[in-house]
Amino acid sequence: MFEEKNAEDIFEAELVFHEQADGRMVAKIAGGKAVLIDVNDLGRVKNGERWRVRLQHHETFAIASLIEPCADNPVLPSTLGEALRISAPPAPAAPAPAVPAPPEAVESVRPAPRTPVDPRRIVQPSDRVALFVDGANMDWACRRAGYFIDYGKAREFFQAGGIFYAGYFYIADFSGQDPQQVRFLDFLAQSGFIVRRHPVKTLHDEDTGEPILKCNLDTEIVLDMLNTVDNYDVAFLFSGDSDFERAVDLLRSRGKRVYVVSSVRQLSRELMYAADKPIFFIENYRPVLGRDGRKPEAGA
């Protein structure tokens, strides 16, 4: 059973579940397919725990019914781990990615500055401020920083006395019916964000027929940044993805100031070089941005 590479051929598995910003506990199986815990089992799994589960497949995700926790969370045999293609980033353990495949891996570009920069140093009272949040990338950034961001706090903090134009939050939508995600999206809307949900689609490789999950939110983000360019003076881009390098270059050429908010271990060099300075490393802002309640477990 575990030698099969097709996700639909996996009906039972041992999976590690990680919490992400919207409260979901998510694991992954072959091809990057997300596994959500059955609503009847919510609350039983703690962040980073490994469970044996039974899977019910849908087109772009699977539902896991819990069977039993794995004793002492043993490491999976290499053959099984390869078959399931489980991604286990080094640490700290917490949110699972909100897209079928994790963002590009980037090395640490530099240590976080010792003195956090107050956004009020760079935002003037007459500046119109916009926030663009790459939800999937920030889930990874928060995991690496060791805490979840409260985006209501983030909106107020980065508005910094300027004029709030808009905040956009981009998230992949696997099922469209998950109650935890709905509550999170409601919170974002009530905090002043425009929520962009993009459904995950299944494509098939022309040669092999293997299913490929796609959800390109980067394009949506760039389109919104460019289409609204006349409505803001300062943009805070919550992402470390190098794919935004050229968009940042273009916006800055039009007189916009674009600052990046990311984790030290998530920020690509390309984006670091292109963005206005300073870079806002979230490791430095836990006291002001940290969300009360659920927090990732710190790790090495």
- 140 and 279 share one domain: yes
Give yes or no for a cis peptide into 211 (omega within 30° of 0).
no
Residue 81 predicted with pLDDT over 90: no
- 191 and 52 share one domain: no
Looking at residue 238, the DSSP 8-state letter turns out to be E
Counting residues of the chain whose pLDDT is more than 90, the rounded percentage is 42
- Provide the pLDDT for residue 120: 95
Q: Which residue has the higher pLDDT, 45 or 238?
A: 238
Task: Compute the CA torsion angle 272, 294, 196, 227 (nearest 10 deg).
Answer: -30
Residue 129 predicted with pLDDT over 90: yes
Is 212 contained in some domain?
A: yes
Q: Which residue has the higher pLDDT, 38 or 163?
A: 163
Q: Which residue has the higher pLDDT, 294 or 191?
A: 191
Global pTM? 0.68
Residue 5 predicted with pLDDT over 60: no
Is 1 contained in some domain?
A: no
Burial letters for 149-172: b for 16+ Cβ neighbours within 10 Å, e otherwise? Answer: bbbbbbbebbbbebebbbbbbbbb
Structure tokens belonging to residue 74: 């043993």
Is 130 contained in some domain?
A: yes
Given 61, 84, 107, which residue is the final one in a domain? 84
- Provide the pLDDT for residue 32: 64
20-76 pLDDT per residue, tens = 766 677 887 766 677 877 777 777 887 778 888 888 776 556 778 888 888 755 444
- 146 and 274 share one domain: yes
Q: By residue range, what is the domain housing residue 195?
A: 119-289
Is 213 contained in some domain?
A: yes
213-231 pLDDT per residue, tens = 454 678 899 999 999 999 9
Lowest pLDDT segment from 13-17, 239-243, 268-272? 13-17
- 72 and 133 share one domain: no
CATH number for the domain including 52? 2.40.50.140
CA distance 58 to 44: 22
**Residues 157, 300, 15: CA angle, nearest 5 degrees:** 95
Is 299 contained in some domain?
A: no
Smallest CA-to-CA distance from 241 within 224, 223, 255, 221 is with 221
pLDDT band of residue 179 (cuts 50, 70, 90) is confident
Instruction: Name 83's bridge partners.
Output: none
CA distance 156 to 293: 19
In the predicted model, what is the mean pLDDT of residues 173-189?
79
Phi, psi of 13 (to 5 degrees): -160, 160
In the predicted model, what is the mean pLDDT of residues 106-134?
82
- 51 and 145 share one domain: no
- 74 and 12 share one domain: yes
Question: What's the number of domains the chain is made of?
Answer: 2
- Provide the pLDDT for residue 209: 54
Mean pLDDT for the chain overall: 78
Is 278 contained in some domain?
A: yes
Residue 104 predicted with pLDDT over 80: no
CATH number for the domain including 224? 3.40.50.1010
35-51 pLDDT per residue, tens = 877 777 777 887 778 88
Residue 203 predicted with pLDDT over 60: no
- 140 and 261 share one domain: yes
Q: Which residue has the higher pLDDT, 46 or 267?
A: 267
- 233 and 162 share one domain: yes
- 205 and 278 share one domain: yes
Say if CB 102 and CB 88 are below 8 A apart: no
Say if CB 174 and CB 36 are below 8 A apart: yes
- 60 and 123 share one domain: no
- 146 and 240 share one domain: yes
Q: Which residue has the higher pLDDT, 127 or 217?
A: 127
Counting residues of the chain whose pLDDT is more than 70, the rounded percentage is 68
